[in-house]
Amino acid sequence: MVYKVADISLAAFGRKEIELAENEMPGLMYMREKYGASKPLKGARIAGCLHMTIQTAVLIETLSALGAEVSWSSCNIFSTQDHAAAAIAATGVPYPQYLAGIRGLSEETTTGVHHLYRPAINVNDSVTKSKFDNYYGCRESLVDGIKRATDVMLAGKVAVVAGFGDVGKGCAQSLAAYGARVIVTEIDPINALQAAMAGYEVATMEDAAPRANVFVTTTGNRDIIRGEHFLVMPEDAIVSNIGHFDVEIDVAWLKANAKSVVNIKPQVDRYTMPSGRHILLLAEGRLVNLGCATGHPSFVMSFSFTNQVLAQIALWTNNSAFPLGVHMLPKELDEEVARAHLKQLNVKLTTLSNEQSKYLDIPVSGPYKPAHYRY
């Protein structure tokens, strides 16, 4: 067996957590139930490159259950949960060598598909991926990261959320739910209006910086928190990013201009400013929910990964329908992903009557919304 993991003795622990995650990933378990016997991925060799987490392990075992021959490598060592990697390696899933005969790709992130030589399905733009991952995922994993890092009481604190897109909306909501007073910054008047109507103060970073105890950047843009902001922050302000990689917070300025820095524990650094005040920087300005916590909960990853499985089935079994280029999953499949998660939540869905179906000109079995509908 070919594998390279940090510590194979962690396999038993990983297996127990995988078992727990299975019940929280009903979309993937539905795929196993629906396709486990017919094995539509038989003959397919799938090489995955995705963070090796417990949730990813449930994805890998789903692809295997559907008949695929799976090999896996993590995108980087920092996103590997060693017990997940060990549990998967113990089942005989290797890491990929060179693979010929690729029929297509399914892409999870917003990152572009550059030198495309096979058709690809863009899973990122499925509603059940983007809307749920960004909003519901961050709504839970942001505060998880902040709390694991600092144990700070959020009630009564002032928190700034830079950006009020899907991620910012989720972050602002959970901070407010803990009793923090949330200030939002925005460049887009529509998002700024949404923030104001949701009850948040909307201000600029210059205005907010001297008043805020907790800072969260969610913009996907660069240079959001800069030297002039660090200089006016109150004592032990907590500064974190959950947006695009590490460009939102000017960490280089902090490193160059702080008097000193003390590492409190992994991913938590306390900088001393020239004024003598301190700043707590989380995850070195990288994604705080991944650096200081374990990323999104299984349930929300189940949405993304069920899209991935459906995309792989589509590419493998219906290859001629996907010419070279980037495709979307059809709306019916997006709806199927959502449907597959309802039972576990005891959701009772209403069925269109034939009269209603005619009245709205929508098939009883969907799709229920036009392709361009915004949720």
Which residues would be at the binding site for ligand NAD (CB under 6 A)?
110, 133-134, 137-138, 162-168, 185-188, 191, 218-221, 224, 242-244, 287, 289
Could you tell me the two tokens for 166?
A: 């899907």
Residue 124's binding partner out of ligand 9W1, ligand NAD, none, with CB under 5 to 8 Å set by partner kind: none
Could you tell me the two tokens for 39?
A: 């094995």
Nearest approach, Cβ of residue 111 and ligand NAD (Å): 9
Residue 220's binding partner out of ligand 9W1, ligand NAD, none, with CB under 5 to 8 Å set by partner kind: ligand NAD
Nearest approach, Cβ of residue 26 and ligand NAD (Å): 21
* Main-chain dihedrals φ then ψ at residue 304, nearest 5 degrees: -55, -50
Check if the beta carbon of residue 79 is closer than 8 Å to that of residue 49.
Answer: no
Cβ proximity to ligand 9W1: between 273 and 281 the closer is 281
Nearest approach, Cβ of residue 170 and ligand 9W1 (Å): 12
Cβ proximity to ligand 9W1: between 20 and 360 the closer is 20
Cβ proximity to ligand 9W1: between 212 and 251 the closer is 251
- Which residue carries 């950047």 as its tokens? 217
**Overall residue count recorded for the chain in this entry:** 375
Q: List beta partners, residue 287.
A: 241
Check if the beta carbon of residue 204 is closer than 8 Å to that of residue 184.
Answer: no
**How do 260-265 and 69-73 pair as beta strands?**
unpaired
Question: CA-based angle 106:285:161, to the nearest 5?
Answer: 90
Cβ proximity to ligand 9W1: between 73 and 79 the closer is 79
Nearest approach, Cβ of residue 202 and ligand 9W1 (Å): 26
Q: What is the C-alpha to C-alpha distance for residues 323 and 314, in angstroms, rounded to an integer?
A: 12
Query: Positive or negative, the Cα torsion across 299, 303, 304, 307?
Result: positive
What type of residue sits at position 121?
I
**How do 260-265 and 201-202 pair as beta strands?**
unpaired
Cβ proximity to ligand NAD: between 6 and 187 the closer is 187
Cβ proximity to ligand NAD: between 61 and 166 the closer is 166
Q: Using CB under 6 A as the criterion, which residues of the chain lie in contact with ligand 9W1 when the complex forms? A: 51, 53, 55-56, 79, 137, 287, 290, 294-296, 301
Which residue number has the CB closest to ligand 9W1? 295
Cβ proximity to ligand 9W1: between 15 and 296 the closer is 296
Nearest approach, Cβ of residue 262 and ligand 9W1 (Å): 23
- Which residue carries 């707590």 as its tokens? 280
Q: Give the residue from 182, 164, 170, 122 showing the smallest Cα distance to 142.
A: 170
Nearest approach, Cβ of residue 200 and ligand 9W1 (Å): 24
Nearest approach, Cβ of residue 221 and ligand NAD (Å): 4
